[in-house]
Every structure is written in structure tokens, then in C-alpha cells.
Structure 1
């Protein structure tokens, strides 16, 4: 407050004395301020002063209370979006499984999760990795292979694609509903390289291109259990498609021929990137999820009718769905870590493969060898084809230790039986060059 007394300006402000002005000691008597020099503020005055100062401060917008932990977020009784900034594929698949398991099977508890993995290959629950993946190439590049707990085909993950997972009740499950939401969100955005559509299989593809091809942009996999379901897919944004093709390509000459009647084969398709940024994709799909599954979407028929009669539909906005971000400092509980370790286990990744045979041909030594692989990927037998000659009898003899090891399987507990690993098989073949060839052909290990 500014006042003028004669030619003297007094600047009044709230402080620890009632009047603290820019006056000198010589002015005290002139203005009758001598009695205030030794004034001490009472506790009551201090309280009131602080209240007044607080009231004069500009108010900050009220902050939404954030969820304190991943567990409490997963248990929330409302729609939630989870964004993982971790790139460990084992952890991300374990977190996805954890969020799904914690979600109560109620329609209002829908979940959406995004994650981007470092390079890896992920096969479906019922697939054969020796058939689906170029294992020798994967091992040479030190790229991990994972088996997920849902069905579907084999996909390659890298920093150029985004994995999304939509979780809802079993009764609300649809192969098409969520991918249609994704397609509509991108097409309505209007800045994508392609117009997209949903195929009869539930895949996201480009609208037919001038070359007559519908390029696959995203494949899907599903899981239904305990009254719940999830639908997850991999969206190709800016992936290395040249590497993707090599990792999923096997040649009979180098990788042999796998035969079985049980495992589920991937459907091979030509693929393309839609060339948008990861954050842009997440934002578009998150907004569509919010509009579809936020509070506005959960009004009952009577409430919707009432709002319609009152002309309030345009004013009813979906509630801002909370986003929980999983970062390096996010506490990861023991349940998630245990699941991640289970996904790394050889018995899950490879031992879960249905029975099959794997045949290789070596033109240099004019031989064929077929391995018969049983339950838990245990080597049950092998068949060796060689011409009848003295030189080939030595090669045949080099497999004698392998025959002995297989015969000993019946005498050993399951965990000690000979598994179908390139290095293990090669270790029982005494011919050095053929031993290396066998190990390399099976999975790139010798």
C-alpha cells in the first residue's frame, strides 16, 4: 500500500513488525513511531499473518493423486493405461502378465499397456522354435528368443515397433474390436503413410496398394482365462524389416527340415512400416482408449437417455484415464521377477515344443541324419543314412557315443536326460567336422 505524507513516501508491507518503512531513526519522533521500535509479534498475530500471506499466494491447480505402486495401479477399479519404459523383453512380458492377473474381471477395469523391447524374437505358446526361427543366426547375433504365454505366430521386436496389450473381460473379448479402435485412431489422424484396415484374421494391414498387396502392419495374439482376456499385438512403425525377414527365414540346406503335426505354424505375410513415431502412436491409441472406455462410456442406459434429452451429450467428456509409467526406479516385486526367470528357462522356451523330427543333409559326407525329439524336447532317437563303404563306417562309428547317451535316458531322471541342444548333441559325436556341423545346424552352438 502506497501513501504520501508531505514529501515522504511510506511503503507498507506485512513483515515481522506491524509497520516496517523506509524511514531513518531521525524520523521516528516526527511520525510518533518511537513506541513501536521494540514491538514483538504475538503468537496469535503470527498465525493470522501467515494465513493472510498464504491467502495472497497464487493457487496452484490441484494435483491428481498418483498411484504409489505398480501393484496398487494394477488393482485399481477403473480403466488404466500402463506404459513401460523398460526394454528388457522378459520383464515386459512378465509385467504384462502381472497386470492381467491382478485385474478384476469387471467391465470397468479395462487395461491398455504399451512397451518397446530391445531386439528379440517372440514365438507363440504352441510353436516350434526350430521351425519358426533361424536359431543359428539368433545365437550368432546374441538376440534372445522368448516363448510367450499366449497363442499366435512369431514376431520380431525391436526399437522400431510398439507392442500393445488390451485387457478386458472374457465376455467382452473380440478379435476385431480393439484393432478396429487402433485403425480408426490412425486413419482419423490423417497423417499416416497408409490407410489401414482390419483383415478377416484380425490383423492390421494396409488398404490394397498399387502392387495389389495388403501389407501386414500388425499381428495379434490372444489369451482367455479366469473370466478375463487379453489381446496383444506388435505395431510396425520403423522396424528393420530386412533383419526381421532374415531372423524368421530358414533354409532346408542350412537349418534342416522340421516335421510335426501338432505345433502351430505362423502365417507368412509381406510386411511394411507405417513410419510414425512411437510416442505419436501411443498418444493416438491412448486417446481412443480413453474415449471408448472412460467414465462417459460407462454410463448406464438411463443416464445416457437423460443426458440426451437434456442435450448434455456434447458436454459429457470422458474422464482422464490415469497413466502409470514403469521406469527403471519403479519397484518390481518378486512375483514379476519370478515370472521373468521362468520365461528365460530353457524348459519353457524350448522344452515346451510338441514332439517333432529334424532332418539334416550333408552333401560333403553324403549323409543324412534325422533326430526324433520327444516330450520336453528330449532326444528319443536318431536315424543315420550312409552309403555302404569302409570310409563311411568310420563316420557311423563317430555316432556311437550319441547312441549310448540316448539309451541312458531311460535310466536318468527327466532333468538329466539328453536335451535337444546343439552343443550337447555335438559333444557326443567324435568326428570333429561333423560334430561342428550338427551343432551349428541345430541352433548355432557347437
Structure 2
């Protein structure tokens, strides 16, 4: 069936176009009669991940969804989006993100939980906003699956973990935020994503890292265009929006053109301060290092290094490696511990040594390396001269390998 084409036009700022009751501080209300719920499709004009996440958060905080559900459709420039409780150094190739594409790859932490996803212009991101008591993730996924099958004939299954799957490969990532009185469920659909960039951006460095942060489950992924070359992001946007408009809330009874004509239609949304007062502050918070990296649950990194033979006398025999352990809290180095193997120290010291260095308190980034002024020369552990340089280089490698 051919899609009904809705006219999509820019509209004036929402505060002047709608009554203020839509944007009053949400309060817990009685469940609405779903027959009275109207729907809107908001299409963000921004491709900036922080702006779009800020728009999500603004609507979640300020909108009354009791009788008005919203589907937000949005696309981002290349970025890695991690869950609220994840470790970016475990989930992404943090050290190389700036070099993966011509303009680099942003890293963002969203407000919802779940795992890490990669976005570029080949993804379509979909957010379903409802009141908490009307939240239904499986319904949303089934709606997307129906839209894709109706327009492109691709059969999509819903996996037990509530991912959309084609030929045993994931074509979506999904997460949600449940509050009171509002909730949202968002997912990203892989349409024609650059999988080379995706794999490079999500290349993980888990060796030696101990963390209690939520870890993503690695899965085989597939672009929808691999199942049907005719599918495009713009076409999918129209198909999902039309499916959303033609169905009642939490029902799949097909209301067709008649029901769609009774909805609020497609609206191009400009996520700026003029339209959404306060959104700039939300965006600034989401882009800040303290949110993206500083919110990381504490973790430690341990690396092991073979001792160069030049440090050994002919009668020395070192069978163990030098080990460096860094503890990181709130994205900053809190402690550095060395395990010195027997035979390396000129004083005969061996074992664990707590080292107070200029690294303590620094952000766990390559910038800290530029501030590396510490030296173990003359310390009680006897690591001097070239041995001092060897240990320092080991510490550098701990930081640059994650």
C-alpha cells in the first residue's frame, strides 16, 4: 500500500502555538481514556546528539502526555551514545573517536539506561513519549515492525531482549526512562549505517579493566538496506510516522486515513531556546565532561609489562612482570599502585607500592599524560634512572591503551 503523504511544514514555537496547559509541570493524573488521546509526530531539525537528547529531556520534564502522545523522529551526526550507568572507556574506542570520521565521533551519555549504540546519518532514532501508565515498549516495537513490513515487506521479529531482529541479526537498539508521571522509550534503527565506522568506534578495550558498570552485550548487526535495498531513512521516517498516525494508542486497530486525519500530524521541530526555554542549559549539562565521563562508576585498570633485559645483571632472573594499577573515581585518577617484581629494584624492594604522583586527581584522559611530572628517582623503592623512565612509560601506556 502506498503511503499517504502528509504535508510537513515548519511551525511557530510551541509555546505560542499551544496552550500553556500542555507544558505545565507534569503531575500524576488518572489514567486517560485512550479514545481521547491524540498523537503528534515531531521531526527534529537538529543533527546534534546533545541537542536531540536535550529535547527528549525537555519534553519528558515539561509536557503533559495524558491525552497527547508524541513520537519524536531524529537523526544524528556520527556519535557513540552510552547508557546512563555505563563506562565509556569500556564501551567505546575513546582514544580514537576524534579520528574515525572527518569531523570525528562525539561521545554522549544519555539519561536512560541500557547499552551503547552508534549513530550516524544512516540511523533513524525514534522516541515514544507517553504518560507512565500508558507506557508499552513491546507495542512500540510491534508498531515499527508493522510499518516496515507494510511498506518494504521485511519481516521483523522481536527478540526476548526486546530488540528488532532480521535474519538473527539486530537492526535496532532500545532503551527507556520511566518516571512519574511521564515515560519515554527510544530506539535506533540501522538503515544504512557505516558499519566500518561503527565497528571502529565501538572497538572495546576491556583487558585489565574491573568495573561494576552496565556492560553492553555484543551482537551481530544488520542494516535494513541489506534486507531491502529500496529502504531509505527518509522513506522509513514516513512509513513509521504514518503507521503511528493510523493506529489508536495501545491498539493496532487500523484506523487508516480517517484516524490519521484526526491526529495532530507531522511537525518540524526546531530545538532552540526560543522554542523550548531552558533547553540550552540541559544541552550544556549533557555535553559537559562531568556528565559524559565524570558520571562513570568507579573502576580500575591493571596492565602488566615485561621487564627489559637491559635492566638485568647477568645473574638476575626476573620471572614476574611489572604491574601498574590505576583506580579511577568520577572519571579521575584516585590512586596508582605498582607491583615491583623481585630483581628490578636496586634496593631489593619488591611487592606493591602505593605511589603518590601528580596524576592523582587528574581526569583519566590523555591530557593527564601531558601533566605527568612525577618521578620515582631517589625513592625508597630504588627505581632510578632508566628504570624510572621504564616505569613512567608503563604508566603512560596504561592510560593510552584504554
Query: What's the TM-score once normalised by structure 2's chain length?
Result: 0.75
Match in the other structure for 2:56: 96
Change (3 A) 1:442 1:65: closer
How many pairs were matched up? Answer: 343
For residue 178 of structure 2, the aligned residue among 224, 229, 235 is 224
Aligned Cα RMSD in Å?
A: 3.5
Q: Alpha-carbon deviations, 1:383-418, whole Å to 9, x = none?
A: 21232345788xx9xx99x61447xx7xxxxxxx43
2:223 is equivalent to residue 273 of structure 1: yes
Match in the other structure for 2:198: 244
2:237 is equivalent to residue 282 of structure 1: yes
Change (3 A) 1:385 1:314: closer
Match in the other structure for 2:266: 323
Match in the other structure for 1:259: 210
Based on CA coordinates, which of the two structures has the bigger radius of gyration?
Answer: 1
Q: Which has the higher helix share?
A: 1
2:94 is equivalent to residue 135 of structure 1: yes
Q: Shift of residue 198 of structure 1?
A: 0.8
SS at match of 1:317: helix
SS at match of 1:369: strand
SS at match of 1:171: helix
The answer (yes or no) to whether the contact 1:135–1:442 under 8 Å persists in 2 is: no
Q: Shift of residue 80 of structure 1?
A: 1.7
SS at match of 2:112: coil
The answer (yes or no) to whether the contact 1:427–1:435 under 8 Å persists in 2 is: no
Match in the other structure for 1:46: none
Match in the other structure for 2:111: 149
* 1:70-81 correspondence to structure 2 within 5 Å: 70-71=14-15, 78-81=38-41
Q: Shift of residue 257 of structure 1?
A: 2.0
The answer (yes or no) to whether the contact 1:426–1:439 under 8 Å persists in 2 is: no
Bigger mean CA offset, 65-74 vs 181-190: 65-74
Query: What's the TM-score once normalised by structure 1's chain length?
Result: 0.68
Q: Which has the higher contact order (CA 8 A, sep 6+)?
A: 2
Q: Distance in 1 between matches of 2:64 and 2:400?
A: 41
* 1:333-348 correspondence to structure 2 within 5 Å: 333-348=276-291
Q: Distance in 1 between matches of 2:126 and 2:346?
A: 54
Q: Distance in 2 between matches of 1:344 and 1:378?
A: 18
For residue 442 of structure 1, the aligned residue among 392, 399, 402 is 399
Question: What are the ranges of 5 or more consecutive residues in structure 2 without an aligned counterpart?
Answer: 1-6, 23-37, 226-230, 309-320, 376-387
For residue 75 of structure 2, the aligned residue among 109, 116, 130 is 116
Change (3 A) 1:140 1:361: farther
Change (3 A) 1:391 1:73: farther
Q: Distance in 2 between matches of 1:378 and 1:100?
A: 31
Question: What are the ranges of 5 or more consecutive residues in structure 1 without an aligned counterpart?
Answer: 1-62, 299-303, 305-312, 410-416
Q: Shift of residue 435 of structure 1?
A: 5.1
The answer (yes or no) to whether the contact 1:355–1:373 under 8 Å persists in 2 is: yes
Q: Shift of residue 150 of structure 1?
A: 0.4
